[in-house]
Amino acid sequence: MKVFRQTMSWVIPIVIGLLIALLIKQFLFQIVRVDGPSMLPNLQNNERVFCLKTAKIHRGSVIVFDANGVDPQVATKTDYVKRVIGVPGDTVRSANGNIYVNGRKVSQSYINNTQRTSGTGNWTLKSISVQNNWLRNSGATKVPKGQYFVLGDHRSVSNDGRYWGFVPKSKIDGVVKVPSWTGTATTRYNVNQEWKHYWAN
């Protein structure tokens, strides 16, 4: 009996600690690793960032979502990190390196002029949905209810909403926050705070 009590005295705290860790990961936040160059220059390949589960999603927020069931090329749970450009009900178009949401020009101060124009092209939601053969929402002129339109910051290499459509809210794990010990002050701002200045002056 004494051995049992001694064993349980360290087993129970471990079990409780594991349960707390699982609850935190499920409902509060988790650490995710950025995979690939699609969010350059603001997030680097292999950079580790926080994913906040309960943070509000804004235009300009950087989010983590499960691409399985969103990108037709993905068959297992795979985390994508992209920036929200349009929320439900928004119209989105691109012209000459500028992004317009509901007819208003979006500030893209988080990427330079070359990055805005290279690989972006001129399009509307309707034109890219037809051009890229979206499996769902082909011909859509607005972001549907309960869904979001996302782009990578490195437009010329990013596999994003232009090619497969919208991200359902049910697929979104949370909002990315870059901790103080990684990146630079500018890149942290471009991920953590840029949504506060979404519209161009």
145-186 residue pLDDT tens: 999 999 999 999 999 999 999 999 999 999 999 999 999 999
d(CA 16, CA 111) in angstroms, rounded, equals 44
pLDDT band at 7 (very low <50, low <70, confident <90, very high): low
Domain annotation covers residue 35:
yes
In this prediction, residue 5 carries a pLDDT of 63
What residues are labeled active site?
A: 38, 82
Q: What does the pLDDT average to over 100-125?
A: 92
Rounded to 5 degrees, φ, ψ at 170 are -65, -20
Residue 85: give its domain's CATH number: 2.10.109.10
Domain annotation covers residue 24:
no
d(CA 179, CA 195) in angstroms, rounded, equals 17
Domain annotation covers residue 61:
yes
Domain annotation covers residue 18:
no
Q: What does the pLDDT average to over 75-82?
A: 95
In this prediction, residue 23 carries a pLDDT of 43
pTM: 0.86
Domain annotation covers residue 129:
yes
Calculate the alpha carbon distances from 114 to 18, 153, 161 in Å.
47, 12, 20
In this prediction, residue 110 carries a pLDDT of 95
Domain annotation covers residue 82:
yes
Neighbouring CB atoms inside 10 A of 95's CB total: 13
In this prediction, residue 115 carries a pLDDT of 87
Do 48 and 31 meet the contact criterion of CB atoms below 8 Å apart? yes
Q: How many domains does the chain have?
A: 1
Domain annotation covers residue 25:
no
d(CA 27, CA 121) in angstroms, rounded, equals 38
Q: Strand pairing partners for 81?
A: 64
Q: Is the pLDDT of residue 102 over 70?
A: yes
| Domain of residue 63, residue span | 30-197
The span from the first CA to the last CA of the chain, in angstroms, equals: 73
Pair of tokens at residue 108 = 């893209």
Q: Is the pLDDT of residue 11 over 80?
A: no
In this prediction, residue 12 carries a pLDDT of 60
Contacts of 16 (CB under 8 A, 6+ apart): none
| Residue of 166, 115, 104, 121 lying closest to 139 (CA atoms) | 166
d(CA 199, CA 126) in angstroms, rounded, equals 22
Q: Is the pLDDT of residue 14 over 90?
A: no
Domain annotation covers residue 40:
yes
